[in-house]
Structure 1
């Protein structure tokens, strides 16, 4: 069974997915960060493929991506790093980036490299569902990879159902009509949006992303779906002490999980 599928079959709540940009803050940070995230208790690790023209990323992730590219990060280097990281952890690894990167690398070559490196899933926000079905689905299915699609507050119910049919991994529930790194408070309007998705009774696991930044917003997100995704807040933490990425990673994850665990036990 794919590690991502196994995760959601074994854990259906409080799933913590941490996103970081590969090659940030240093080119060789990727493996230590993955190892530290796994050791600290992250359930799922989302590895960002730095890209010069991102669509959904806010300032924090954009800057980390540019820094990573300046550091010399490429897909070839990233696959080598993921191969090394996989030797140290069995936590699911998902690559997030843009389909243009896949096209430039070569879709078949990309998928084969991802599988060989121990990747479990892909998130490609600019990949249309129809193009996925036509050109990419068979490749990823043959490789045993899972693909996640995003839904937003503007996505219609019919469209959400179509996306659910295409998503073989979890559904990425974008919390608001914004870029990453936005407000860290969950509003009544967002809660109504989460209720709307929940009422559709989709079979897919669901993780909330965008604006999830601390233990409080993580706990709130977990009240609605299987868990949440934290990215920009973690990258900001890494940037504060670039020489201590392992210690920073451990501390950050503990800060998210320990309040959640204590609340759950009450």
Structure 2
């Protein structure tokens, strides 16, 4: 088997060469409706997101803050089906050459069938999965099928994780390690938690290749601060709010504004 070349990792490395690091943008599929969510994802890529993270709406979103929960509930109420994720990826990839990860809780993947889900994801042009509620030691089937199909597996690292668990996450992950900046749910924070910097340092000690920080990043300044120690910054709530309040046009403007943080002068080290 040829070694898997991660489009996600390549995009992050390119962003690091050209700027200070990558911007990864999150939006749920089907919000406010399927067509608009496709247009929104395309606009996000065209406005400065290096990697797209498309959320699969789920009825029990344990990690999501209120704004994202409301958006995913609306998508579900509008009749969201898992097949819409693959349709959205196909349509977005036809318009922009930006890697797309699907953020999904594990239950919908299991219900759909792990191999079936992975094959349809690959066929649609998706790059892999971000799986917030499954750990590498419980993901043998997903690890095997993702290796077979060349899909990225993005696992989460939290400040509460032991060094042993961080090492396991680093070894099992491809693309980047999703570095959780604070304990708790997603949303905006006035200040990024110092725990994110310390966690990234611990991941570096475990040999992490690429670490991207998420949860609580909502401004260009916070992106710039995160890229002082991490390889990428993940923004979700601020983009979902912009789409909700002002449609695709407001979203595009917000992405441009926050993406400016990837080009900010580096802080002295």
Fold shared per TM-score above 0.5: yes
Q: Distance in 2 between matches of 1:156 and 1:262?
A: 33
Sort the Cα spacing of 1:188 and 1:165 in 2 relative to 1 into closer, same or farther, 3 A. closer
Give, in angstroms, the shift of residue 31 of structure 1: 1.5
Q: Secondary structure at the match of 1:158?
A: helix
Q: Does the CA-based 8 Å contact 2:26-2:236 persist in structure 1?
A: yes
1:249 is aligned to 251
**2:211 counterpart of 1:213:** no
1:113 is aligned to 120
Q: Distance in 2 between matches of 1:93 and 1:137?
A: 18
2:11 is aligned to 7
Sort the Cα spacing of 1:73 and 1:102 in 2 relative to 1 into closer, same or farther, 3 A. same
Runs of 5+ unmatched residues, structure 1: none
1:17 is aligned to 24
Give, in angstroms, the shift of residue 260 of structure 1: 4.3
**2:182 counterpart of 1:180:** no
Q: Distance in 2 between matches of 1:142 and 1:76?
A: 22
Q: Secondary structure at the match of 1:234?
A: helix
5 Å matches for 1:161-172?
161-172=167-178
Q: Secondary structure at the match of 2:228?
A: helix
Q: Distance in 2 between matches of 1:32 and 1:154?
A: 37
Q: Deviations over 1:81-133 (max 9, x none)?
A: 21121111110100001110001111111011100110001011122211213
Q: CA RMSD in A?
A: 2.0
Sort the Cα spacing of 1:262 and 1:137 in 2 relative to 1 into closer, same or farther, 3 A. closer
1:43 is aligned to 50
2:243 is aligned to 238
Q: Does the CA-based 8 Å contact 2:32-2:244 persist in structure 1?
A: yes
Q: Does the CA-based 8 Å contact 2:180-2:196 persist in structure 1?
A: no
Runs of 5+ unmatched residues, structure 2: none
Aligned residues: 261
Q: Deviations over 1:166-204 (max 9, x none)?
A: 101200000011110042312445444444444x15232
Sort the Cα spacing of 1:19 and 1:107 in 2 relative to 1 into closer, same or farther, 3 A. same
Q: Deviations over 1:6-38 (max 9, x none)?
A: 213433342000001111122322210121111
Q: Secondary structure at the match of 1:181?
A: coil
Q: Does the CA-based 8 Å contact 2:13-2:21 persist in structure 1?
A: no
2:76 to 69, 76, 80: 69
Sort the Cα spacing of 1:149 and 1:177 in 2 relative to 1 into closer, same or farther, 3 A. same
Sort the Cα spacing of 1:147 and 1:5 in 2 relative to 1 into closer, same or farther, 3 A. same
Q: Deviations over 1:205-239 (max 9, x none)?
A: 11000000111111110001101100011111111
Q: Deviations over 1:40-69 (max 9, x none)?
A: 121000000000011211111111110111
5 Å matches for 1:154-165?
154-165=160-171
Sort the Cα spacing of 1:83 and 1:162 in 2 relative to 1 into closer, same or farther, 3 A. same
**2:33 counterpart of 1:26:** yes
Sort the Cα spacing of 1:35 and 1:261 in 2 relative to 1 into closer, same or farther, 3 A. same
